[in-house]
Amino acid sequence: MNDVSDAFMISKLLLVEDNESNRDMLSRRLVRRGFEVVTAADGESAIRIIREAKPDLVLMDMSLPGINGWDATRIIKSSSETSAIPVVALTAHAMTSDREEAFAAGCNGFETKPIEMDKLLATIDGLLARKRGPNADA
């Protein structure tokens, strides 16, 4: 946080990750960076939490039990109350076709695992700035 206005712009992130150690590690790193983090371990929980908690952005693992990340993203993006929430795909699938599939499902960003924290933070910051609009800092 660089100035007083940043203190009023704490962003709420939903981290959807079925691997408990990955979820815990990434959640702690994001909290240390000043984000409020809510977590879910599967697609069904993610959809419910998004509707209830209205996060500013979703970090979505694509390989989830039950409803996978691609289908959960499609559901999120098909609802008028949640469609504007940016979704970043988090996946070990690094092929071009995986990236294309994530964007086709409605993802706004794509990061491969293992997560490069600086790259992820730049993606989050860019999507949140775009969501807030050009006059958000004015």
Task: Give the rounded distance of the alpha carbon of 65 from its chain centre.
Answer: 18
The tokens describing 11, both together, are 């962003």
- Over residues 24-48, the mean pLDDT reads 97
pLDDT band at 131 (very low <50, low <70, confident <90, very high): confident
The Cα 2–Cα 107 span in angstroms is 29
Residue 5 lies in a domain: no
Residue 63 lies in a domain: yes
Residue 128 lies in a domain: yes
- What are 106's strand-pairing partners? none
Residue 79 lies in a domain: yes
Residue 137 lies in a domain: no
Residue 4 lies in a domain: no
pLDDT in tens, 84-130: 999 999 999 878 889 999 999 999 999 999 999 999 999 999 999 99
pLDDT band at 136 (very low <50, low <70, confident <90, very high): low
Query: Domains in the chain: how many in total?
Result: 1
Query: Is-cis flag, bond preceding 134, omega within 30?
Result: no
What domain range is 92 assigned to? 11-132
Backbone angles phi, psi at 46, to 5 degrees: -60, -45
Residue 34 lies in a domain: yes
Residues of the chain above pLDDT 70, percent: 90
Higher pLDDT, 38 or 135: 38
Q: Which residues have C-beta within 8 Å of that of residue 97, sequence separation ≥ 6?
A: none
CATH number, domain of 90, equals 3.40.50.2300
Residue 21 lies in a domain: yes
pLDDT in tens, 48-96: 999 999 999 999 999 999 999 999 999 999 999 999 999 999 999 878 8
